[in-house]
Chains A and B, each alone.
Chain A
Amino acid sequence: MNLVIFLIIPLMTVVLLLLARNAMQVRALAIAGAAVQAVCTVILYFSYRNIMQGQEPGLLYFEQSFPFYPSWNISFHIGVDGISIAMMLLTSWVVLAGVLISRNITDRVKEYHVMLLLLSLGAYGFFMSVDLLIQFFFLELAVIPKYLLIAIWGSGKKTYSANKLALLLMGGSALILVGLLMMYYSIEPHTFNWKEIAGISLPISLQMVCFPLLFLGFGIFSAIFPFHTWVPDGHSSAPTAGSMFLAGISMKLGGFGCLKVASFLFPDAAVTYAPWVVGLSAIAIIYGAFVTLMQKDLKYINAYSSISHCGFVLLGIGMITHGAISGAVLQMISHGLMTALFFAIIGMVYARTHTREIAKMGGLMRTMPFVSTMLFIVGFCSLGLPGLSGFVAEMSVFVGSWERPGLFYRTATVLACMSIVVTAVYILRAVGKVVMGPLPDAYAQTSDAAGYEKFVSVWLLLAILLIGIFPGWLVELIEPAVSFIQLRFQAQ
């Protein structure tokens, strides 16, 4: 499988979109592009499985390298491992859902879809890049469309949110860039190539400086405490598809970077700094959950719960046991699908009730059973119900974390476990109020989900169920990559 195809498809779609003449053509093209992406990622998954059959696992697959700036030893080097493929599957899944749900956008349809597809281009590039500078380029590419999506098509205090998001993420990028350059100039010969750097053992002093820079930089993308404040505002101001992309894809860029760049390349520092990572993420988990308790707006509830859930990703990375890292990856996938679905449902509810205040809603089960049922299911996924993906991920993190002895780590694990109770409280408080109870007269005439909305929900739900009921295939997919990462820590 030629990986360049994952860059060409979004790019081609964007070019064709620019040529499109009316909104209908734009939508059709965007959907077609997203669908082709989904098909390609599935093919990629199966060809990866074929290659893996009975082979010793390797670090990277489907590698390709083109010279890009030879004098600085920068090449356009792409390749994937199990984790990247899992993330690309997630991306393509969410992109298709996001494009489909954007039917209700009527303002500047073309530009909107161009932004969505550019974002997906950035995400694919990021997950595939082996050269860290190219990866950085794609990371930035994924930020800018987000800013525009919120600032142009957003709602509420959209300028404020867009600025906040862009500034914080750019701040994170700055940290990453400084870390990367520092690493680049300390290595002889200078290189940004992830694979080459992985082969060298970097001096401890360098690791101790670079790791915090990179981890914090990527951590901001993944809502590390206390740099999470862009999440609630950004998510709640963004249009539905924007929120889905933001939570479903963008936040995963951070987790992926923390795991595969920061922790993988600087294993000694990762071990030394582990208490910090674990401490911050445990705080994020429990603190995010408690803050969610007090929210009144559905989107804010989901955004704050994302902080709590992304805390599990960083917690798993910080715990550096096999189960925990594997759980962190699973949580990225699961959370991506789950929040995407959650935001899609919130969008559907909002389109009908014109409010996101939970206090104003109630009893929607009567007029929109489909939307309500979906809200229930996604709520249950969020609180970790077995059979849905959230359970698999969270339990892997818990079991993996418990294997790390020491009072500090155990306390962090217990705190993280406690969040499942708080999650249950806020999910039931919100979903129970919206779906159950008496129906206000104002919403007596609301209609249930339309066909395309049902398709989006089922599309995402299928993936959630597929992971929740049969986690084996996904665990098998990421297992070699996780083992490689874990081996790096064991060597210390």
Chain B
Amino acid sequence: MPSLLNIILIPLLPLLSFVWLGLSGRRQNHPMAGWLATAFMLVSLLLSIQTAFAYFSGAGMAGDSYRPMLVWDLEWLPFTATAEGLAIHTGILLDPISVMMLIVVTSISCMVHLFSLGYMKGEQRFGMYYAYLGLFTFSMLGLVLSSNIFQMYMFWELVGVSSFLLIGFYYQKPAAVAAAKKAFIVTRFADLGFLLGILVLSYYGGSMDFNQLIQSLTSPESNELQEAQRDSFMGLSALSWGLSLVFIGGASKSALFPLHIWLPDAMEGPTPVSALIHAATMVVAGVYLVARLFPVYALSAPDILQMIGWTGAISALIAALIACTQTDIKRVLAYSTMSQIGFMVLALGVSGYADGNNLGFTASMFHLSTHAVFKALLFLCAGAVIHYVHSNEMDQMGGLRKQMPITHISFLLACLAISGFPFLAGFFSKEEILLAAYTNYKPIFWIAIFTSALTAFYMFRLYFRIFWHKPYHAAHHDDHHGEGTWTMKWPLLILALGTVFAGYIPFSRFVSATGKPFHTSLHIEFSIAPVGLALLGIAAAYYLYGRQSARPEQMQKSLGFLYTSLKSKLFIDELYLFITRNIIFGILGKWAAWIDKHIVDGLMNGLADLIQWIAQKIRRVQSGRVQDYALYFLIAILGLLLCAKWFNQF
């Protein structure tokens, strides 16, 4: 096993880069800032590879299965006086999925660091950009390594903030600011669910530690589980409440329907950021969260797991449909990300826990890794294209294959991979997902296979619109920088290699729900249908977009309302806007402010006014005339005398 220091350094190096670059502020706009951060990231990547190697090559093995290893554990914030009570621990948990995520996060982050050297060259806040990247990578690694559900929540919030900072990196652009705020607030809203879910689960489970929590909430004879299933609120057991609330948090981070609305807008950030955060790493945090608590979902609340599966399937389908209509290339990719995450979640939803029945879990994690590679590649290619064309709109592009050969090949490979073209990365993982759905739950399988065909269609629509469609005319600027610097090309090539070969990793040997490796084989006869459908989708895309024609327009017209509603993203944004503007601000906020101003404050002012009014009346007595005073004096004396008489004191 690598030493503790090595493992701790993995997240700490990006943090160090954040602190260093962040403190040096504006002065650090020198290209060296980027190189420094990239070097740190590279070391972090090497360390995580070493860790993964050590873990999988034996250190993590116990008997015939991988076991979770608590490498480091420290009580951070106790909530009770006794040692057994609830407490937030900070720890490092190594198990197959966290080690896998370590590799994914550090490698993609490293590529993005490298790519950004060229892409962000000459930016005003170059150093700050790398600082934010460091902060994000640190938080994401912390999230991945969390041994405690509350620790995960902390890093969960931190990735949210770094995502906010990076989306709003171009802070002078109102659209970017709005998108950043939207992303933060929508995910924050869902994090409320996560927080309440943690409160419920930790209250019943008696611990916040993942291992203890899973243990106490899965073994059928434990008191905690029985209590959690007995207590119910509004017809749902406390356990189900807790698990669904936690899932709400995950759903919004992972942009699942209907909490996805922030993801397309988040594309306002710099493109490499979209590749890192909004495609490969942060958005899969929700999937990771469900996978982390998978035993609890699968063993104690299968109904919730099924609901999760449906959520995944529905968002995969809806996102794919919307992706077919968008014209901003980054938005197409964003919806495609949402759709692919839907696939991962769906795979978890159809998976069982027991050995032999948990293909879905492995498939989901597998797809998570391969998707990270090819989606990061797609985004980086899109970044290169945008860098070249200076626009996000498809209409400005077309015929770029000659100008950008490397980007073109990489993009094509990634598109094939995401469509499930045989023997590329996406093929293997997607086949496994479909197979798991087919064996466990047919309705979801039909949705999944249809979505998979749609994926091929919209990805190739994107591909043809960018690289074919029509000859490219440089619009208004000279071709001064070509395809990009080598720092931009190398990451593309490396990731393209990954896209080709990542699928050959024997994933089920490493990752499974129970930790016990198993063997998967390719079912050629099963693959015929999905691959055939994918090819059909590609053909349709070529037919419509291969070259400029009137066919897409006719299609759009014939689809009518369906097309317009998809194009405007099913009006979900409008719905949210209505709720926030009219209900939160218009009703709750306005009323609260009104009450405060007129009733609460009014009460205090009214009290003061009343006293003042009485005083006004009384002060008339103080007329300033000596004779009035003398009169009062006389009356008082006489009154006193009468009183004395009355009480018979004389």
Contacts and interface: CB of A to CB of B under 8 A. Distances in A.
Interface in B59-100: 75-81, 85-86, 88
Contacts of B171: 363, 365, 435-437
Interface stretch (B307-315, B373-381, B512-520, B583-591): B583-591
Contacts of A392: 77
Nearest to B596: A291
B79 A326 contact: yes
A389 to B, nearest CB: 11
A144 to B, nearest CB: 20
Interface in B431-488: none
A437 B199 CA distance: 37
A466 interface: no
Given A363-B172, A471-B77, A402 B203 contact: yes
Contacts of A399: 79, 86, 199, 202
A417 B195 contact: yes
Contacts of B185: 421, 424-425, 428
A391 B161 CA distance: 14
Contact of A226 (B154, B157, B191, B600): B600
Q: Which of B191, B592, B600 has the most CB of A within 10 A?
A: B592
Interface string B317-355: 000000000000000000000000000000000000000
A472 B595 CA distance: 41
Contacts of B191: 420
Contacts of A482: 81
Nearest to A167: B608
Given A226-B600, A472-B76, A290 B592 contact: yes
Interface in A418-445: 418, 420-422, 424-425, 428-429, 432, 435-439
Contact of A294 (B26, B79, B585): B585
B157 A386 contact: yes
Given A385-B157, A392-B77, A420-B195, A293 B589 contact: yes
Interface in B571-596: 584-585, 588-593, 595-596
A228 B158 contact: no
Given A385-B158, A395-B77, A400-B79, A229 B601 contact: yes
A93 B195 CA distance: 32
Interface in B533-586: 584-585
B190 to A, nearest CB: 9
Contact of B177 (A229, A322, A380, A432): A432
A475 B172 contact: no
A392 B195 CA distance: 14
Interface string A151-169: 0000000000000100110
A102 interface: no
Nearest to B599: A226
Interface residues of B, number: 53
A326 B82 CA distance: 13
A31 B555 CA distance: 76
Contacts of A432: 168, 177, 180-181
B247 interface: no
A256 interface: no
A275 interface: no
Given A294-B589, A391-B154, A421-B188, A437 B172 contact: yes
A369 B86 contact: no
Contacts of A383: 188
B592 A291 contact: yes
A425 to B, nearest CB: 6
A357 interface: no
Nearest to B588: A290
Interface string A448-492: 000000000000000000000001100100010011001000000
A287 interface: yes
A323 B174 contact: no
Contacts of B192: 417-418, 420-421
A396 B604 CA distance: 34
A386 B162 CA distance: 12
Contacts of B181: 428-429, 432
Interface string A213-242: 000000000000111110000000000000
Given A421-B192, A472-B75, A229 B589 contact: no
B589 A387 contact: no
Contacts of A414: 196
Contacts of A437: 171-172, 174, 177
A479 B174 CA distance: 47
A339 interface: no
Contact of A322 (B79, B172, B174): B79
A398 interface: yes
Interface in B133-169: 150, 153-155, 157-158, 161, 168
Contact of A293 (B168, B195, B584, B604): B584
Contact of A164 (B79, B158, B604): B604
A421 B171 CA distance: 22
B184 interface: yes
Interface string A289-322: 0110111000000000000000000000000001
B494 to A, nearest CB: 33
Q: Which of A365, A425, A486 has the most CB of B within 10 A?
A: A425
B188 A387 contact: no
A425 B589 CA distance: 11
Contact of B195 (A291, A322, A398): A398
A63 interface: no
Given A294-B589, A294-B590, A385 B81 contact: no
Interface in B23-82: 25-26, 75-81
A129 interface: no
A413 interface: yes
Nearest to B154: A386
Nearest to B591: A290
A395 B174 contact: no
B603 interface: yes
Nearest to A225: B600
A386 B158 contact: yes
B632 interface: no
Contacts of A323: 79-80, 86
Interface string B180-210: 1100110011011001100110110000000
3 nearest interchain CB pairs?
A386-B154, A323-B79, A290-B592
Given A384-B157, A420-B195, 5 more contacts: A287-B596, A291-B589, A293-B593, A387-B154, A424-B188
9 contacts: A226-B603, A229-B596, A229-B600, A290-B593, A402-B199, A417-B192, A435-B171, A439-B172, A471-B77
